[in-house]
Amino acid sequence: MTDPVLATHGLTKSFGAVRASEDVSLDLRPGEIHAVIGPNGAGKSTLIAQICGGLTPDAGRIEFLGRDVTAQPTRARARMGLARTFQISALAMEDTVLQNATLGALGARGGALGLLRPALSQRDLHDTAMTALERVGLADHAATITAELSHGQRRQLEVAVALTLRPRAFVMDEPMAGMGTEGSRRMTGFLDGLRDEAPILLVEHDMDAVFALADRLSVLVYGRIIATGTVEEIRANRDVRTAYLGDEA
């Protein structure tokens, strides 16, 4: 078995008396989509924040590309190639779609930021940004102000910004939220092909998408992972059925 790209070992995080994460260990292997599902309040957002660097765990370790990044700030993890998309869009709303995508390309290029040459007329930045927009189907909206996008389109832009980083792993927080059936179907198709580029840790509520995409699933309930396995294994798991899937499965 190949080494995992991203792994957590015994992550624990409490807020006062509430255990938001308890001994969470999971890994993301090359070429896979690993979905994390769980009811609201199960601690999915807390888990993502720890993996990406917004929150420091009380205990446990996070490894990315074989390095311990537990103490690294968000931007260091991003520079190593960990790309995150946000559940609630964190885009520069007053800027255009192209400017947002260019921002990601800037981060990926690294080095000092220029003070004088316009960003949008720099070939490499422009090409990276446009390619990413084309891939998610937003190229026609490049000049649109981001605030005028629909919720679904903002999700697409989130993914496009992540693409411009040329990441080694994706962490996606509900990329289908706010999308219609058609948009959701297209995003599912897109993510399906994306796993060969870099593995995806996917937190998603859309169960159809999850079951269609995931190579493996982890079920998070009250901050604990109660089961990890293939879609078939999870469907068959009695604990999962009683604790979470219930009628939906």
Partner 1 sequence: MTREKIINTALLLGLLAVPAWAWAVDEPFTITLATRVAILALAGVGLNIALGLGGLVSLGHAAFFGIGGYAMGILASHAQSYTPLMETPFLIEGTKSMPVIWLTALFAAALAALVIGALSLRTSGVYFIMITLAFGQMLYFFSISWPAYGGEDGLSIYVRNGFPGLNTLDPIQFFAICFALLAGALWFNARLARAPFGLALNAARQSPARVETIGLSPFRLRLAAFVISGAITGLAGALFADLNRFVSPTMFSWQMSGEIMVFIILGGVGRLYGPVAGAALFITLEHLLGGLSEFWLIWLGLLLLLVVLFARGGVIGLLAGRQVAHD
Query: Considering beta carbons, is residue 1 or 143 the nearer one to partner 1?
Result: 143
Query: Considering beta carbons, is residue 6 or 161 the nearer one to partner 1?
Result: 161
Structure token pair of residue 122: 């720099």
Q: b/e map of 105-128 (b: 16 or more CB within 10 Å)? A: bbbbeeeeeeeeeebeebeebbeb
Query: Considering beta carbons, is residue 1 or 116 the nearer one to partner 1?
Result: 116
**φ and ψ at 36, to 5 degrees?**
-110, 120
Residues found near partner 1 in the complex (CB under 8 A): 52-54, 73-76, 78-79, 83-84, 86, 90-96, 99-100, 102-104, 106-108, 110, 113-120, 122, 125, 145, 161, 165
Provide the minimum distance between the beta carbon of 173 and partner 1 in the complex, in angstroms, as a whole number.
Answer: 11
Looking at residue 237, the DSSP 8-state letter turns out to be -
Residues with Cβ < 8 Å from 183, sequence gap 6 or more?
152, 156, 176
Query: Considering beta carbons, is residue 47 or 165 the nearer one to partner 1?
Result: 165
Provide the minimum distance between the beta carbon of 162 and partner 1 in the complex, in angstroms, as a whole number.
Answer: 8
Provide the minimum distance between the beta carbon of 225 and partner 1 in the complex, in angstroms, as a whole number.
Answer: 24
Provide the minimum distance between the beta carbon of 75 and partner 1 in the complex, in angstroms, as a whole number.
Answer: 5
d(CA 218, CA 57): 19
Provide the minimum distance between the beta carbon of 106 and partner 1 in the complex, in angstroms, as a whole number.
Answer: 5
d(CA 221, CA 207): 16
Secondary element (H or E) of residue 169: strand 169-173
Query: Considering beta carbons, is residue 92 or 249 the nearer one to partner 1?
Result: 92
Looking at residue 145, the DSSP 8-state letter turns out to be B
Q: Angle at Cα 33 formed by Cα 32 and Cα 34, nearest 5°?
A: 110
Query: Considering beta carbons, is residue 105 or 213 the nearer one to partner 1?
Result: 105
Neighbours of 222 (CB within 10 A): 16
Provide the minimum distance between the beta carbon of 57 and partner 1 in the complex, in angstroms, as a whole number.
Answer: 18
Spatial contact of 224 and 196, defined as CB atoms under 8 Å apart: no
Query: Considering beta carbons, is residue 120 or 207 the nearer one to partner 1?
Result: 120
Q: What is the CA radius of gyration of the chain?
A: 18
Provide the minimum distance between the beta carbon of 216 and partner 1 in the complex, in angstroms, as a whole number.
Answer: 24
DSSP, residue by residue, 90-102? ---TTSBHHHHHH
d(CA 205, CA 8): 22
